[in-house]
């Protein structure tokens, strides 16, 4: 980490993190676990700071150690207009006082701290200041991201919809969840990771190109905008045309500009919700490693119950330390219920296979010929069938941290997830 040695609510605050990587890594971890904040961009390079400001954050949280000297830091702050909270490296008292005196009167510098600042205390101040500022500017400021429809913005949700079993309805569930998020006013991106070719374009009446395979050619926010297509109010990025293109992206180093990780890091500058339709292939590990929410989709057969249990083991046993997922941000959805095992029996079989501890079955989606008819017409079933839509509401409510109505029968247990009472 660079140092200077001159002697020798309920609302969401969007934040740009700037500083040496060890510092921004710690900050990112802390903020991602606090639903009051959403990180819009991260930079570890002083020259890149102005570019990253295009994400239009409410606040810049900065470690001044990213600059090679105090003068460069002071100059940068004077050119910025965003609210800034800055931590400065340890330095002799007289030198620190000289830096502070040159920044006196800079209205948008909300805090200048020494390296031993308590992070939790700082986060509380940032949120309180930002909320007060937005309330002072009128209620519309908080509603901007939610389209003014009264729904509360959420911390960026990166949701992998997956199972190691194929043909269970992952694409149907993923596209429907993304569409429901966009209807709530959240900027939403639906990403397909399939190949040979990906199902999303076919199901949503989209062109197979451009697609995910084009990302490495222009791995920027503008490049992402160019390769997405629109369905209603959500953006869609279709998957690969073939397995060769998928293999090429898998081979890109995760820290390289054209990697899938870089795609997601870029996407969350623009979108509050990213839903990844994840195939039962080696690409799954890539999606899981960037996600903070997981939806395992199954169908009511013994074989799929066992495959779902195996998928659970992969995530929470074999991939421990390789992702940010937890059991409190992961859910089960049983699709096509009614033609096979009873949901409780299916859940019990899968739970027994992993030793008893398992995810809650939060959404039971009845088998419905109208869903198949909608898919054959290449129309989202959420738009054609109210029963299908309502069956997804508990899952959508938990994922997007919103309250929702009961499941219609008053049965089941209630669990508090992300502050939401979820019936399962």
The residue that leads in pLDDT, 148 or 209, is 209
* pLDDT computed for residue 250 by the predictor: 80
Is the separation of the CB atoms in 280 and 274 below 8 Å? no
Helix 386-399 and helix 369-376: axis angle, to 10°?
90
Model pLDDT, residue 401? 61
- DSSP assignment, residue 318? I
Calpha distance 74→252 (Å, rounded): 37
State residue 62's pLDDT score. 94
What integer pLDDT is reported at residue 351 of this predicted model?
94
Q: What is the pLDDT of residue 237?
A: 97
Res 216 pLDDT > 80: yes
Question: pLDDT tens, 74-121?
Answer: 988 988 888 999 999 888 888 888 898 888 878 889 888 887 677 888
- Give the rounded percent of residues in the chain with a pLDDT score beyond 70: 86
Task: Give the residue, 400 or 363, on which the prediction is more confident.
Answer: 363
Of the candidates 209, 193, 197, the residue with the CA atom closest to the CA atom of residue 160: 193
Yes or no: say if 235 and 189 are a contact pair by the CB < 8 Å rule.
yes
Q: What is the DSSP string of 258-310?
A: TSHHHHHHHHTTT-SEEEEE--SSTHHHHHHHH-SEEEEEE-SSHHHHHHHHH
134-157 mean pLDDT: 44
Q: Of 115, 109, 122, 114, whose CA–CA distance to 30 is shortest?
A: 122
Task: List Cβ neighbours of 242 (8 Å cut-off, separation of 6 or more).
Answer: 195, 196, 197
Residues of the chain with CATH 3.40.50.2300: 13-143
Q: Is the pLDDT of residue 146 over 50?
A: no
Could you please state the CATH topology (level 3) that the domain comprising 13-143 is classified under: Rossmann fold (3.40.50)
Across 50-208, the runs of DSSP E, i.e. the strands, are 59-63, 83-87, 109-113, 157-162, 188-192
Q: Where along the chain do the CATH 3.40.50.300 domains lie?
A: 157-423
Backbone angles phi, psi at 159, to 5 degrees: -115, 120
SS3 (DSSP) at 137: coil
Q: What is the overall mean pLDDT for the chain?
A: 83
Shortest CA distance to 266 belongs to which of 215, 303, 315?
215
Instruction: Note the residue count of the chain.
Output: 424
Topology given in CATH for the domain delimited by 157-423? Rossmann fold (3.40.50)
- Look at residue 229 in the predicted model and tell me its pLDDT: 96
DSSP conformation class of 168: S
Confidence of residue 181 (pLDDT cuts 50, 70, 90): very high
CB 79 within 8 A of CB 308: no
**Inter-residue contact 174 to 203 (CB < 8 Å):** no
- How far apart (Å, rounded) are the C-alpha atoms in residues 59 and 16? 6
**pLDDT of res. 337:** 93
- Predicted confidence band of residue 409 (pLDDT cuts 50, 70, 90): very low
| Mean pLDDT, range 349-360, rounded to an integer | 91
Asked if residues 413 and 361 have their Cβ atoms less than 8 Å apart, the reply is no
Report pTM. 0.62
pLDDT digit string, tens, across residues 241-299 = 888 888 888 888 888 889 999 999 889 888 889 999 998 887 899 999 889 899 999 99
- pLDDT at residue 154, rounded to an integer: 39
> What percentage of the chain carries pLDDT values higher than 90?
42
Best-predicted range by mean pLDDT (239-248, 299-308, 319-328, 366-375):
299-308
């Amino acid at each position: 980490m660079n140092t200077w040695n001159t002697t020798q609510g309920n609302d969401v605050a969007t934040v740009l993190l700037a500083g040496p990587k060890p510092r921004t890594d710690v900050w990112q971890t802390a903020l991602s676990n606090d639903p009051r904040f959403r990180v819009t961009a991260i930079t570890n390079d002083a020259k890149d700071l102005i570019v990253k400001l295009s994400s239009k954050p409410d606040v810049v949280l900065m470690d001044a150690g990213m600059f090679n000297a105090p003068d460069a830091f002071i100059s940068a702050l004077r050119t910025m207009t965003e609210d800034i909270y800055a931590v400065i490296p340890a330095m002799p008292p007289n030198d620190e006082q000289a830096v502070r005196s040159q920044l006196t009167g800079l209205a948008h510098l909300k805090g200048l701290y020494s390296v031993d600042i308590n992070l939790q205390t700082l986060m509380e101040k940032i949120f309180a200041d930002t909320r007060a500022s937005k309330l002072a500017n009128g209620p519309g400021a908080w509603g901007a991201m939610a389209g003014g429809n009264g729904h509360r913005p959420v911390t960026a949700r990166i949701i992998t919809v997956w199972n190691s079993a194929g043909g269970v309805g992952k694409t149907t569930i993923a596209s429907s969840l993304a569409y429901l998020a966009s209807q709530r006013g959240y900027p939403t991106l639906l990403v397909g990771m399939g190949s040979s070719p990906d199902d999303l374009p076919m199901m949503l009446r989209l062109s197979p190109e451009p697609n995910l395979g084009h990302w490495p050619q222009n791995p920027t926010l503008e490049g992402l905008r160019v390769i997405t297509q629109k369905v209603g109010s959500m953006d869609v990025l279709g998957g690969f045309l073939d397995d060769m293109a998928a293999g090429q992206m898998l081979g890109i180093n995760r820290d390289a500009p054209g990697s899938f990780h870089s795609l997601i890091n870029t996407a969350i500058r623009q979108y509050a919700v990213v839903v990844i339709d994840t195939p039962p292939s080696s690409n799954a590990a890539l999606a899981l490693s960037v996600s903070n929410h997981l939806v395992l989709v199954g169908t009511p057969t013994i074989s799929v119950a066992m495959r779902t249990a195996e998928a659970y083991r992969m995530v929470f046993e074999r991939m421990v330390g390789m992702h940010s997922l937890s059991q409190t941000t992961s859910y089960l959805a049983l699709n096509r219920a009614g033609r096979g095992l009873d949901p409780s029996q299916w859940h019990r079989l899968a739970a027994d296979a992993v030793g008893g501890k398992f995810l809650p079955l939060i959404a039971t989606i009845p088998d419905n010929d109208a869903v198949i008819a909608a898919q054959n017409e290449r129309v989202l079933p959420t738009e054609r069938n109210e029963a299908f839509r309502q069956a997804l509401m508990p899952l959508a409510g938990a994922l997007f941290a919103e309250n929702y109505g009961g499941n219609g029968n008053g049965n089941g247990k209630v669990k508090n997830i992300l502050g939401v009472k979820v019936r399962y």
